[in-house]
Chain A
């Protein structure tokens, strides 16, 4: 047991002390203890203790009478009963009684409990709640596992933060004169059920690459509007192509018709030619292109009636994801 503790202490040398320090003080007993321990009553026989300890590999069993903790029986107590050939004696005779129990409270810092385990040299602490009821047991092994788990969580959290802070890291390991990632999606006309799938996947990819949430949101909203436009307005659906570069993201929505007769008008708020079905799905408010314009750093539309439309949306990558000009 002391070895486990010193192993932990050695580990500590490679870690920022602030993290360890914080953990042992912030981590409460509740989070590392073994809850709802197995118990016996004081009327059980030492023979029962022997059976349970052997079968379940326990080295100490709390003794509870009518819901109240009255003692603990350990392997040492069992050995005494053996020596005295009194396995038929009740637990009551050999257990450590209430007034000598070494306990910890659920809301105590792990640091305090660990100190008590060291000082008293007992194998385990009985964990009590505010009403002095037994709610768990705590060994150095429990603390070890709990601290490692908490360390891992803290480490993951830090990794996540580091990832968030470096939106361009993904590209750093790839060497070329110009590196980009291309994602291409087919969008079918009137396929409202899958509407938004492509945009959602592009958003996920951006977040995984470490883009700022606000950038991912801007790209997702504009792409989603463009995706819905392909579903609502085209004769044969179209394609969404997202090109992701370290410094800019370009999403192009292109289709093969019918083309927009009056782009000026289409870009105006409230103008819509959407079908009743599109309106039923919550679109056709005439806000699509207006909203795209709001989310992009650059918006280019080429269109010809009978030929098709190409909507190019450009987003500049910024550290906080906010529009570059703002």
Chain B
């Protein structure tokens, strides 16, 4: 799914464009960067409510081309400049995490599929 299709599906806004014209092939939503780092893949869209520099770093480390911030949270200018410099696209959704994910899923964006259930402490 292209960036403009994503934005259209959630009635969102593009804050910075990714350096490459990427065709996102799945999405992952979390506020825990460690969780994102476990599943991150190139061409994966990151959906998060966390607007701090670590979101950009997490995307940079794992080659995630686009970050979508939910609940109308517009990140700081410093953060946008950082994203622009690295070449990461930043989008913002006026919907909550739940609804943003729902709208994108409805528009045909796949996730990680079924995962094994593992015992946590």
Question: Residues of A at under 8 Å CB distance from B?
Answer: 192-193, 195-197, 199-200, 203, 213, 217, 220-221, 224-225, 228, 265, 268-271, 281-288, 290-291, 294
Contact = CB atoms under 8 A, between A and B. Distances in A.
B35 A269 contact: no
Given A200-B61, A270-B121, A294-B38, 15 more contacts: A192-B54, A195-B57, A200-B57, A200-B60, A224-B57, A224-B58, A224-B61, A265-B121, A269-B121, A281-B50, A281-B52, A281-B54, A282-B52, A283-B33, A287-B38
A291 B53 contact: no
A217 B54 contact: no
Nearest to B33: A282
B55 A196 contact: no
B31 interface: yes
Interface string B79-116: 00000001000000000000000000000000000000
Interface residues of B, number: 25
Contacts of B63: 213, 217
A305 to B, nearest CB: 21
B120 A269 contact: yes
A270 B34 CA distance: 10
B32 interface: yes
Contacts of B42: 213, 217
Contacts of A199: 57, 61
Contact of B37 (A193, A203, A287): A287
Nearest to B50: A282
B62 interface: yes
Contact of B53 (A195, A213, A269): A195
A129 B76 CA distance: 44
Contacts of A225: 34, 37
18 contacts: A192-B52, A192-B54, A196-B54, A196-B57, A199-B61, A200-B86, A203-B61, A220-B61, A220-B62, A221-B40, A224-B61, A228-B54, A281-B33, A281-B50, A281-B52, A282-B31, A283-B54, A284-B34
A269 B33 contact: no
Contacts of B40: 221
Contacts of A196: 53-54, 57-58, 60-61
A285 B120 CA distance: 11
A195 B58 CA distance: 10
B62 A285 contact: no
Interface string B27-71: 000011111011010100000101011110110111100000000
A282 B38 contact: no
Nearest to B30: A282
A217 B121 contact: no
Nearest to B32: A285
B61 A192 contact: no
A224 B37 contact: yes
A269 B116 CA distance: 14
A287 B61 contact: no
B117 interface: no
A282 B55 contact: yes
B20 interface: no
Contacts of A288: 34
Given A192-B54, A196-B61, A213-B63, A271 B35 contact: no
Nearest to B120: A270
The 6 closest A-B pairs by CB, nearest first: A196-B57, A270-B120, A282-B33, A287-B34, A220-B61, A285-B34
